Amino acid sequence: MRHTRETKIVPAQETGRHTSAEAHREFDTHEAAVQCYTEARRRLLNINEWDLYAGVASATFQLTDPQGNPVYREPELGDLIRINIPGPGSRAGDGYDWVCIEAYLETIDAARDDNTFGFRVRPASNPKSEDTAPAHFYSEESTSTFLIQRAGNKVTGAEKGRNEIPNMDADRWTDRARNSAIAFGASLGMAIPQWKALMDGILDTDSADAQNSDN
């Protein structure tokens, strides 16, 4: 597994399907846009609370160290995310789907008044198991990249899926059937509203301002 800092973080689309879910906010002032970007970047790194940002019926996310132990800090390269999606869980993943954080990107372009931050994940094996096959409904060729960008007074949050292929290498036929069904649903666009809801929630920084004013 590659763990790198990269200048181009979204892989080329070479096989399978690709998806993209985006949310946008525009502000009247530069200061407001910068504040939104800063808070959205913090929220993107707060993986354990993604379900709170995404709202009802979201999957739940737990950041873990490479050994699968839950951690409560900003993610690091090589960390894992344990995902509990609604519906039957993966037997190979002890009920969860697992991904590894393999790369991140942060750029500041003062001349263009543009900031970008993000990281990429890839299906990973269950760290609590001796099985080295991915414990995820997608194969190891697949990636998801999560990005926050500010261009002038506009802030964008995005999830970009690339090379999405169902994981049919699982040992159990029940996992193969599950993976195929979930991947098929995602291919019909069922995952896009969930990722968009997450990005909408991450960019909804006015709610954070309201909470701070109450404290």
pLDDT 10s digits, 2-14:
444 556 899 999 9
Distance CA 27, CA 132 (A): 47
Distance CA 146, CA 151 (A): 16
Mean pLDDT throughout 93-99? 93
Mean pLDDT throughout 51-64? 91
pLDDT 10s digits, 107-157:
999 999 999 999 999 999 999 999 888 999 999 999 999 999 999 999 999
pLDDT 10s digits, 166-192:
988 877 877 788 878 887 677 655 688
Best CA proximity match to 199, nearest among 30, 43, 63: 43
CB of 160 closer than 8 Å to CB of 19: yes
pLDDT of residue 103: 97
Distance CA 143, CA 81 (A): 13
